Amino acid sequence: MTNVVKNVNVEYQIDQDNFAATVQTKRKPCVLKGMDIGECRSKWTVEYLSDNCGPHDCVVHVSETSQMDFINKNYLYRKLPFREVVKRASVTKHTEYFINPKEFYYFRSLGENVRTEASNITEQFPQFKDDIKIPQFFPQESFFSSVFRISSAGMQLWTHYDVMDNLLIQINGRKRVTLFPPSDALYLYLHGDKSMVTDIDRPDLTKFPNFIKAKRYECVLEAGDILFIPALWFHNVIALEFGIAVNVFWKNLKPELYDKKDPYGNKDLIPAARSMDILNRALKVLDELPEEYRDFYARKMVAKIQEKSY
């Protein structure tokens, strides 16, 4: 038994009007090919990035195994200068290392103040900002963050969702992206914004029997491709080669709906977080009943929610 697999749609050389009309409104992921992403395509070699970056330290995930696992926390956070992150991620055997010579690296840039500010590469990496052209598919005032993503060959990032529309610009290296629609959330065994099914290619079906029901959308991004990831679509990423990407999140809904304290772009929207909170309180109230009653009313609540969402 396997999941139903679909290919992600592809569009070529799409412009702003077509993006809005044929891609964004469909609320489905789409690979955009043949886009002008600027000189970074040819310029961003390991040498260029490491020679031109400032001295600042970055926090990077370091892992002994390529599949990062947020449940067993099989990775460390370590500080390294940006130049060192790029150099180490680009090779598979290291002379200097934290765990062992074959460790894997994953870097996601953060804001100036990591707790309160979102990443903006224009501010954190001004020397590289003119190299990359971000398609103007959204109004300037909706911009939320731009994030560097650098990964060792083989590195796999867990399945998660973000709450904003997203353009993932693959600058170097190939990457497999697997996506699941928000409507299949029930089959993904969520823990916050992440799926507990850590191995999507060999899922433990005794633990996660319904995972098989999730529709799986696949694509392989080549250098220069852009993937549109609509808000709430789950995504799991494997770097098939050492890769450099930049992703851009923007607020596709009214700004007041978003949590003001959200450096990562993954905090649930305010009404969603409030509803979840109310639900948790309701479940606590149910605990006042004996099991037989609690179970009965929990089922009535599920029926009510199902009626509303399907």
Ligand X SMILES: O=C(O)CCC(=O)C(=O)O
Question: DSSP string spanning 216-254?
Answer: EEEEEEPTT-EEEE-TT-EEEEEESSSEEEEEEEE--S-
Q: For residues 162 and 165, which CB has a smaller minimum distance to Fe ion in the complex? A: 162
146 binds, among ligand X, Fe ion, none (CB under 5 to 8 A by kind): none
Q: Tell me how far, at minimum, the Cβ of 175 lies from ligand X, in Å.
A: 6
Does the footprint of ligand X cover residue 216 (CB under 6 A)?
A: no
The Cα 274–Cα 254 span in angstroms is 17
Q: Given CA atoms 252, 232, 223, 264 in this order, what sign does their dihedral have?
A: positive
Does the footprint of Fe ion cover residue 162 (CB under 5 A)?
A: yes
Closest CA to 149 of 132, 163, 169: 169
What token pair was written down for 146? 């731009």
Does the footprint of Fe ion cover residue 262 (CB under 5 A)?
A: no
Site for ligand X in 150-169 (CB under 6 A): 151, 157, 162, 166, 168
Closest CA to 183 of 218, 215, 157, 159: 215
The answer to whether 114 and 77 have CB atoms below 8 angstroms apart is no
Q: Tell me how far, at minimum, the Cβ of 45 lies from Fe ion, in Å.
A: 26
Q: Interface with Fe ion by CB under 5 A: which range of 59-67, 122-130, 144-152, 160-168?
A: 160-168
Residue type, 91: V
Q: For residues 124 and 166, which CB has a smaller minimum distance to ligand X in the complex? A: 166
Q: For residues 162 and 268, which CB has a smaller minimum distance to Fe ion in the complex? A: 162
CB contact set of 281 (below 8 Å; sequence gap of 6+): none
**Residue matched to tokens 């031109």:** 52
Does the footprint of ligand X cover residue 247 (CB under 6 A)?
A: yes
Does the footprint of ligand X cover residue 61 (CB under 6 A)?
A: no
Q: Which residues bind Fe ion (CB under 5 A)?
A: 162
The residue ranges that bind ligand X (CB under 6 A) are: 149, 151, 157, 162, 166, 168, 235, 237, 245, 247
